[in-house]
Amino acid sequence: MDLDYGPEYDIFRQEVRAFIKEHRHLAPPPGDRAARPSAEAIEWQNLLIAHGYTARTIPCEYGGYGAEPDILESRIVAEEFSRARMPGGLANQGISMLVPTLLELGSEEQKRRWIEPTLKGDVVWCQGYSEPGAGSDLANLKTSARVENGEFVINGQKIWTSTARQADMIFCLVRTEPDAPKHGGISYLIFSMDTPGIEVRPLKTMTGHAEFNETFFTDVRVPVDQIVGQRGQGWLVANATLGHERGMLGDPDALENRMQALIALMQDERTGEGRAIDNPVLRDRLVALQAEVAAMKYNGMRVLSDSLKGEPGGMAKLIVKLQSCELAHQISALAIDAMGEMGILYHHSPRERDGGAWQWNYMFQLGLIIGGGTAQIQKNIIAERGLDMPREPKPARIAAAGQQTTAPAHQAQGAN
């Protein structure tokens, strides 16, 4: 057990701290996370890229900083920005998901054309994966793209397309080979959101905001070369990106920051007799959550160490999305309970706390438990890949069994 990053990393950490001290007046306000970055946010992004504090390992020819991959350096940057409560680099779907995918599977021309403007905040992307009939069973997607005169002609509907209204471009899964098996008939296309035939409708959620959209395609024409990978390989390409999304949803610093905010809230929030934290039941819940956050923090350090040694993360890594999202939700739940009746204030009400952020988080985090691979899908993955448990029988086998015997088999089919 050695928690020191080592002397060479101490120097790097000092550099990051010095940078933050010198430039913090240039940082956009922490809440500035609009889908379309402000001029100030773009300037900040460019400054961070120039110093290698974001896009650190992306090659220079594609607009990155070009450093050798070094997990600890990236970790130190994240730690120091989080500690200073400074916004790090932009973290939209284009940067977090499309850029890694292009780096891995894009053509040279696609890399040169799209990565740099995406990193610099000039091109904003949205993701066209889920459909009303293809959620957990994503490969069941039906949006079609037939080829006509050197163009894909796209028809269908996507859902959960966050930032679709602000986006310039979309990376989108469509069915190009209707006769191929489910997973083998999908292609990964990239095209402009200004293409005729695209209609975006805001999707209002339980939070009262429209964080997502529904996107409709009617005879949308896209040149056939705007594909990443080959026709029919879209499922493989998409899986590369979904891995990146799961990484994005399990950020250990985010949990610790929420925990610190909860502790501060419970010390500030007063009832007649004292502070919320003086209530022994609430305090007990706080300490219990704090221990759980600590466990996830050290679990994250263990995963980090394993990847430094080139070892697979194993179970410690498989559980991160499930546990982190649940824990984030529990933190918000306790905050609301600690506020008592004040906890229900929302929609810019007088006396509302923290701009209604706790209620918004409480609801939105439930969305995160469902999105990016539902909790139930995560449990399937943990059980089947982590514990090597038997898979669900294929529906065909269940149907066959159902013909031979009567009812029992269908009892087993849960949601997935």
Partner 1 sequence: MDFGLSQDQQMLRDAVAHCLRDTCPLDHVRWCAEQENPASDRVLEALNVLGVGGMLVPEEHGGLGMTLLDATVVAEQLGFAVAPVPFLASQVLAPIALREAGSKEQKARWLPKIARGEVRVGVAISETVETRDGSGVSSAAGKLTGTALFCLDFKGADAYIVADAKGRLHLVDAEASGLTTISLTTIDRTRSVGELRFDGAEAEPLADDGGVATSRLRDAGRVILAADSLGAGETMIQKAVAYAGQREQFGRLIGSFQAVKHMCAEMAARHEPCRSLVWFAAHTFDAMPNEASLVACQAKSHTAEVHRFVARTSTEVHGGMGFTDLLGLHYFFKRIGFDRQVLGGPETVRAEAAVLQGWTKAA
CB of 352 to partner 1, least distance (A): 25
- Under rule CB under 8 A, residue 382 binds partner 1: yes
- Under rule CB under 8 A, residue 403 binds partner 1: no
How many other C-beta atoms lie within 10 A of the C-beta of residue 188? 29
Taking the C-alpha atoms of residue 332 and residue 369, their distance in angstroms, rounded to an integer, is: 13
- Under rule CB under 8 A, residue 132 binds partner 1: no
Taking the C-alpha atoms of residue 260 and residue 256, their distance in angstroms, rounded to an integer, is: 6
* Contact by Cβ (8 Å): 143, 216: no
Q: Give the contact letters, 272-301, x = binds to partner 1 (CB under 8 A), - = no.
A: -----xx-x--xx-xxx-xxx-xxx-xx-x
Of positions 29, 393, 399, 400, contacts partner 1 by CB under 8 A: 393
What are the tokens at 318?
A: 């498989």
* Contact by Cβ (8 Å): 251, 231: no
CA distances from 140 to 126, 134, 174, 311 (A): 20, 5, 10, 34
- Under rule CB under 8 A, residue 315 binds partner 1: yes
Based on CB atoms, which residue is closest to partner 1, 161 or 323? 323
Taking the C-alpha atoms of residue 342 and residue 265, their distance in angstroms, rounded to an integer, is: 12
Applying CB under 8 A, the span of 47-55, 148-156, 309-317, 333-341 interacting with partner 1 comes to 309-317
CB of 313 to partner 1, least distance (A): 11
* Contact by Cβ (8 Å): 286, 358: no
- Under rule CB under 8 A, residue 414 binds partner 1: yes
Residues with catalytic function: 245
CB of 284 to partner 1, least distance (A): 5
- Under rule CB under 8 A, residue 405 binds partner 1: yes
125: part of which helix (H) or strand (E)? Answer: strand 125-128
Applying CB under 8 A, the span of 171-179, 210-218, 342-350, 401-409 interacting with partner 1 comes to 401-409
CB of 2 to partner 1, least distance (A): 5
Spatial neighbors of 61 by CB under 8 A, at least 6 apart, are 112
Of positions 34, 210, 254, 389, contacts partner 1 by CB under 8 A: 389
Instruction: Compute how many residues bind partner 1; rule: CB under 8 A.
Output: 60
DSSP 96: I
**Contacts to partner 1 from residues 8-27, by CB under 8 A:** 9
Taking the C-alpha atoms of residue 266 and residue 262, their distance in angstroms, rounded to an integer, is: 6
Based on CB atoms, which residue is closest to partner 1, 324 or 361? 324
Pick left, alpha or beta for residue 347 (phi over 0 → left; psi -120 to 50 → alpha; otherwise beta): left
Based on CB atoms, which residue is closest to partner 1, 34 or 291? 291
CA dihedral 213, 205, 244, 34 (to 10 degrees): 70
User: Buried b vs exposed e over 211-233: b needs ≥16 C-beta within 10 Å?
Assistant: bbbbbbbeebbbebebbbbebbb
Token pair 């399990």: residue: 250
Based on CB atoms, which residue is closest to partner 1, 61 or 278? 278
Of positions 109, 390, 396, 406, contacts partner 1 by CB under 8 A: 390
Of positions 40, 61, 148, 392, contacts partner 1 by CB under 8 A: 392
Applying CB under 8 A, the span of 2-10, 20-28, 172-180, 219-227 interacting with partner 1 comes to 2-10
What are the tokens at 14?
A: 């000092």
Q: Which residues of this protein are in contact with partner 1, per CB under 8 A?
A: 1-6, 9, 72, 267, 277-278, 280, 283-284, 286-288, 290-292, 294-296, 298-299, 301-302, 304-306, 308-309, 315-316, 319, 322-323, 376, 378-380, 382-384, 386-393, 401, 405, 408-409, 411-412, 414, 416
